[in-house]
Amino acid sequence: MKKIVITTIFLSLVISVNAQKKKVASKPAASKTNVEKVSAAKGINENNYGAVIKYTNEIVSCLNNQHKEINDRDEYYRRWSDYFLDNKANSKNRVIYSPYIAYDLTKNNARCTKSSAPNFMEETDSTFYNENYSLLVGTFQKMALVWNDMASFSKPNIPNTDYGKKKCEELRDLLATYYETSEKLSLRNKELQKELFPYSVAKSPYKTAYIYLRNDMDAITDFVTICSNANNLKADSIKNALAELDASVTEHLLYANEHETPSNYKSFYDMANNSIVLRIKAKLNGKGLEVKDIEQLINNYNDGVVPAYNRAMN
């Protein structure tokens, strides 16, 4: 299963037009729970084969770089997340900023880009950053819990009107606080990212969910706009607004009942992240992917992962 999951993530990056998205389409279809199968005919043909090979190699190179950076910074993150979590006394407060690697796969146009944010710990005014990071982290944690409630609006148990209105307004206010605090922090050094990710949650059981929440900020903002502007903020209005977002957004942050750990996504993605580079390199073996290799990946995806994933999430 581990091998199949790994090849799935890779396949999703290279072939599927419906690869993971970080932004909401203007008029996406209604949310879907199940993962759909991939068509080999649509995935590769004589017209796009060369482009597929080119972008496959580009993504592999990017994954290698990402894998190395993660290994190099593992102890670095652990040490400083301990500092933030335990609020240890320190004469200088050091704040973590990390490069961010993103994938954008649209048809055969794959990009692997790295943010310009510097990878270093900046010595700053202790009081200023302690106060603002405390607010930023607290806001982020509250947003995760509220967004989980919002995601449940697409389920059969539709909340009443008052509850839906309250949650929508609560998330709207938290978003405003989050962006205001992020901007305040970033203005102290204009070279730094304007949207900061609080690594103080690095050891939290919510870690995976936080990452998705960070990636879905635009979607959440759109959702708040939709439900806040509804003429009659009834349960159905909330439900319909949620349905306009990508299925991935509504499913990303479904925690366990105790709100202690993310759901199946944690193991699903952690397994892939741990060894995806080695698997891809073994498959490539220094050469471009053959058509039969891609067809095998599609078979693994359709016959193995799709059924298992849908069973786990339903």
Spatial distance between the Cα atoms of 96 and 73, rounded to a whole number of angstroms: 11
Q: How confident is the model at residue 166, as a pLDDT?
A: 73
Residues 6+ apart with CB under 8 A from 263: 254, 255, 256, 313
Q: How confident is the model at residue 225, as a pLDDT?
A: 61
User: Mind listing the pLDDT tens digit of every residue in the chain (314 residues)?
Assistant: 444 444 444 444 444 434 444 333 433 343 333 434 434 444 444 554 555 455 455 545 555 555 565 555 555 445 544 544 444 444 333 333 333 333 322 322 333 344 333 333 344 455 666 677 778 777 877 776 776 565 554 444 445 556 666 777 787 788 888 778 776 765 554 333 333 343 334 444 444 544 555 555 655 665 566 555 554 444 454 445 444 443 333 333 333 223 333 333 334 334 333 333 334 444 444 444 455 554 554 555 455 545 554 554 44
Give, as one character, the DSSP assignment of residue 29: P
Residues 6+ apart with CB under 8 A from 44: 15, 52, 291, 294
Instruction: Look at the alpha carbons of 102, 107, 110, 115 in this order and tell me if their dihedral is positive or negative.
Output: negative
Q: How confident is the model at residue 54, as a pLDDT?
A: 53
Residues 6+ apart with CB under 8 A from 219: 23, 24, 245, 246, 249
Q: How confident is the model at residue 179, as a pLDDT?
A: 76
Please state the pTM of the whole predicted model: 0.32
